[in-house]
C-alpha cells in the first residue's frame, strides 16, 4: 500500500527546506553588500517561504524546491560579482515589486466599490456602550439629588431603585447601564478610603522604628518625655483611624437615607399598582415598611465589586 507522506509533517523535508532557507538568506546578505539597490531580496525570500510552507502537492513541492535551488545558484553567482546574474536578480526583484504594486492598486480600487462590512452585534453593543459612557461622563444639568426621591408623580412605570454597595460605598441603582459620572464618584471614594488604609499600615510599620529611636534617645540622654517618636506616630495612626471611622459612619448614614427612599418607592409603587401585578413584584406588608433602616445591613466582601445582598439582621 502506498504510504501517504505530508511534506510539512516530514522531518526530512523540513530539514531540507530549512537548509535551503538559511542558504538563500546568507547569499542574499552577500548580494546586498555588493549592490545596495537589491535590499528587497531578503524580504522576498521570507515572504515566498511563508507562502509556500503548507504545500501538499508533490509536484508543486518539487517545483518550488527546484526554483529555490536555481535562485541559490543565481544569488551565489551574483555575490561573486557576475554581472549577468546581478542583472537577472535585479530584473526579477523589479518585476516582483511591480506585481505587488499592481495588486495593491487593484485592491484599493475594489475597496472603493465594495460594500462596508456590517458590524456584528457585539461591535454594535460596544459602540453603544462607548457613546453612553461619553454622554454620561458629566453630571446632567437637570439632575436632582437622589435623596429627593420618591417622586410623587412619574411618567410611565415607576422604577424602584435597588440599594447596592461597591466595597462599602452605597448607592442607588435606578437602571442599567451605570452612568460614568456615578462610576467616577464611586472610584474616587474607594481611592480615598484605600489611601487612608495604606497610610495607616505604613505608619504601623514605622512604629517599630519609632520605638527604637526613643530607646536610642534615652541611651544618649536626648529623650523628651513630652514629645516622643512613638507618641507622634500613635497620634497619626489615631487620626487616620478616626478618618476611616468618619467615612464609614457617613456611608452608613447615607445607606440608611437611601434605604428609606427604597421603602418609600416601594410603597408608592404598591399603591399605584392595579389588581394585576407585574411578574416578580412583591408588595411588602405595612409591618415590614415600619422596620427602621438601621436593622438592615448590606454585605460586600473586600474587592468583590458590587453586591446587592440586602437582608434583615436578627433582632437581639
Would you state the pLDDT for residue 220? 85
User: Could you state, in order of their start, the residue ranges of all structural domains in the chain?
Assistant: 7-107, 159-273+283-312
pLDDT tens for the chain, 316 residues: list them. Answer: 567 777 778 888 889 899 999 998 888 888 766 555 677 888 888 888 888 888 888 888 889 889 999 989 988 888 888 888 888 888 888 888 888 889 999 988 888 887 878 889 999 999 999 999 999 888 888 888 888 888 878 787 888 899 999 988 999 998 888 899 999 999 999 999 999 999 999 999 998 898 888 888 888 877 676 778 888 899 999 999 999 999 999 999 999 999 999 999 988 888 877 533 444 444 444 433 444 444 443 434 443 333 344 333 333 3
* Per-residue H/E/C for the chain: CCCCCCHHHCHHHHHHHHHHHHHHHHHHHHHHHHCHHHCCHHHHHHHHHHHHCCCCCHHHHHHHHHHHHHHHHHHHHHHCCCHHHHHHHHHHHHHHHHHHHHHHHHHHHHHHHCCCCCCCHHHHHHHHHHHHHHHCCCCCCCCCCHHHCCCCCCCCCCCCCEEEEECCEEEEECCCCCCHHHHHHHHHHHHHHHHHHHHHHHHHHHHHHHHHHHHHHHHCCCCECCECHHHHHHHHHHHHHHHHHHHHHHHHHHHHHHHHHHHHHHHHHHHHCCCCCCCCCCCCCHHHHCCCHHHEEEECCCCCCEECEEEECCCC
List pLDDT tens digits, range 248-298: 999 999 999 999 999 999 888 888 775 334 444 444 444 334 444 444 434
Amino acid at each position: 500500500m502506498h504510504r501517504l507522506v505530508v511534506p510539512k509533517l516530514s522531518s526530512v523535508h523540513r530539514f531540507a527546506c530549512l537548509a535551503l532557507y538559511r542558504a538563500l538568506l546568507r547569499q542574499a546578505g552577500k548580494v546586498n553588500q555588493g549592490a545596495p539597490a537589491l535590499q528587497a531580496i531578503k524580504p522576498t525570500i521570507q515572504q515566498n517561504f511563508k507562502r509556500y510552507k503548507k504545500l501538499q502537492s508533490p509536484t508543486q513541492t518539487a517545483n518550488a524546491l527546484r526554483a529555490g535551488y536555481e535562485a541559490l545558484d543565481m544569488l551565489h553567482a551574483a555575490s561573486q560579482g557576475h554581472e549577468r546574474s546581478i542583472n537577472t536578480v535585479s530584473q526579477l526583484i523589479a518585476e516582483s515589486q511591480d506585481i505587488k504594486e499592481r495588486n495593491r492598486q487593484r485592491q484599493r480600487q475594489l475597496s472603493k466599490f465594495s460594500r462596508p462590512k456590517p458590524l456584528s452585534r457585539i461591535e454594535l453593543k460596544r459602540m453603544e456602550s462607548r457613546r453612553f459612557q461619553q454622554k454620561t461622563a458629566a453630571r446632567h444639568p437637570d439632575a436632582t439629588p437622589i435623596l429627593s426621591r420618591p417622586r410623587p408623580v412619574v411618567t410611565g412605570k415607576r422604577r424602584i431603585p435597588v440599594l447596592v454597595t461597591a466595597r462599602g460605598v452605597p448607592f442607588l441603582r435606578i437602571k442599567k447601564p451605570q452612568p460614568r459620572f456615578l462610576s467616577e464618584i464611586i472610584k474616587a471614594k474607594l481611592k480615598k478610603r484605600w489611601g487612608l488604609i495604606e497610610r495607616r499600615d505604613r505608619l504601623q510599620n514605622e512604629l517599630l522604628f519609632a520605638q527604637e529611636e526613643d530607646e536610642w534617645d534615652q541611651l544618649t540622654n536626648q529623650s523628651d518625655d513630652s514629645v516622643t517618636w512613638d507618641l507622634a506616630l500613635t497620634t497619626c495612626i489615631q487620626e487616620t483611624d478616626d478618618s476611616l471611622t468618619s467615612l464609614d459612619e457617613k456611608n452608613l448614614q447615607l445607606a440608611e437615607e437611601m434605604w428609606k427612599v427604597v421603602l418609600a418607592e416601594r410603597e408608592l409603587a404598591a399603591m399605584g399598582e392595579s389588581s394585576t401585578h407585574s411578574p416578580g413584584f412583591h408588595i411588602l406588608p405595612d409591618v415590614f415598611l415600619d422596620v427602621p433602616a438601621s436593622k438592615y445591613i448590606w454585605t460586600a466582601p473586600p474587592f468583590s465589586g458590587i453586591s446587592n445582598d440586602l437582608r434583615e439582621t436578627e433582632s437581639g
